[in-house]
Structure 1
Amino acid sequence: MKWIEPVRLSGKAVRLEPLRAEHQVALQDAVADGALSGLWFTKIPSPDGMGEEIARRLALQDAGTMIPFTVQDIATGKALGMTTFMNIEPAHRRLEIGSTWYRASAQRTGVNTDCKRLLLTHAFETLACIAVEFRTSSFNRASRAAIERLGAKLDGVLRSHQIVEGNILRDTYVYSITASEWPAVKKNLSVLARD
């Protein structure tokens, strides 16, 4: 058995379903809510590019470096976005939570808190991770604020780390939560869930 396998996770507001090709139409609808693919500082698929993005993520899952999820609203079954366990390092019991996006109408709601609580609980309590990492663009202030709100700590900035739209070099902020920090972060997430 592999260290990490696709799994279904259910919370208060969201369910994380292992990504499947059949999710394409629902995810096309979700990504069209807010024209998310127009954000220049991050890579979010366009509705037309969703099939290719699903295939890319599933190929990375087959390679053992990613476990992708479709984020669904429990009450309606509606697709809210995508998230992943990525950069999986079984030998070091580390992974990154990333490649996350939510439809505009689900942003700044309890969706991200519930989603991250599910992923972090699985990472630390089932997989016994030593650390979980988050990365985001220096220009993605909303993402940075959301990561910091979770309780992750800034490890550093990778300067000129990636080339984004228009050949612009992106600085990447790297955050993490360690296993010793998880109990406090878990408590914080339960408080945030009540807000």
Structure 2
Amino acid sequence: MSYAQTPILASDFVVLEPLAGAHHDDLVEAVHVDDLWRTWYTHIPSPEDMGDEIERRRERQAAGEIAAWAVVDPANDRAVGMTTYLNLDPANRRLEIGSTWLGRSAQGTAINPAAKLLLLERAFTDLGCIAVEFRTHWHNRQSRASIAKLGAKQDGILRQHTIVENGTIRDTVVFSILDSEWPTVRYGLTERLAAYARAVDASGTAR
């Protein structure tokens, strides 16, 4: 089974679809809210660059370098972000989950943990990975907290790791989940989503 394949992955909270040009307009609308693409410590495509970014990820996937999905909210069947398998390393049974962004409407909902559960399940159960990595900018505190909340552990910080497009230098924080940790991480995510579902049902609002 190829690490670069992108089957549809779905749950009650999120659907991950192979990234395609058909997602363009939804994704443009998602980044327009609060000018999301202007966030300086992460790379989010601008409305004008969205088409090129979709094509770039699709080309890299065709070359076997990544696996790119659109993140779709099943409540309205609209794409609200992107996520990707990066640094595919089948020989060492490792990969990275990254290049992820979500529009404002999806942030703080069950969409991100549900997507991570699907991606981790595929990595560990279907692909047989022994480790899954996450990387983020030191200044992206929201992302660091979100990764830690998944159950990933911080491996370290790569100081002065990359030069960003705006000329600043990024310190990269590296996290990982090991296959031996996956059963506990899976349980934690499953319970977290169950609690979210109970809260939504109690409030009578749509998921």
Both proteins in one fold, TM over 0.5: yes
Once the two structures are overlaid, the 10-residue window that deviates more, 3-12 or 82-91, is 3-12
- Distance, in Å, in 1 between the alignment partners of 2:17 and 2:141 is 28
Once the two structures are superposed, the pairs formed by residues 34-183 of structure 1 within 5 Å of their partners are 34-183=34-183
Whether the 8 Å contact between 1:9 and 1:16 is mirrored in structure 2 is: yes
Q: Hey, what does 2:203 align to over in structure 1?
A: none
Q: Is the 8 A contact 1:68 1:85 kept in 2?
A: yes
* 1:126-164 deviation per Cα after TM superposition (whole angstroms, max 9, x unaligned): 111110000000000000000000000001101011112
How far apart, in 2, do the equivalents of 1:4 and 1:91 lie?
Answer: 14
Distance in 2, matches of 1:145 and 1:37, equals: 20
Aligned-partner residue type, residue 98 of structure 1? G
The count of corresponding residues between Structure 1 and Structure 2 is: 195
Structure 2 SS opposite 1:148:
helix
Query: Which digits, 9 at most, give the CA deviation of each residue in 1:55-95, with x for residues without a partner?
Result: 11111101111110001111210111000111111111111
Shift of 1:27: 1.1
* Unpaired segments ≥5 residues, structure 2: 197-207
Taking structure 1 as the reference length, the TM-score comes to 0.96
The root-mean-square deviation of aligned C-alpha atoms, in Å, is 1.1
In 1, the alpha carbon distance for the partners of 2:105 and 2:25 equals: 18
Question: 2: CA distance between counterparts of 1:76 and 1:168?
Answer: 38
Contact 2:4/2:65 (<8 A) preserved: no
- Corresponding residue SS for 2:166: helix
Unaligned runs of 5+ in 1: none
1:8·1:15 contact (CA, 8 Å) conserved in 2?
yes
1:18 corresponds in structure 2 to 18
Q: Quick one: percent identity of the two aligned structures? A: 50
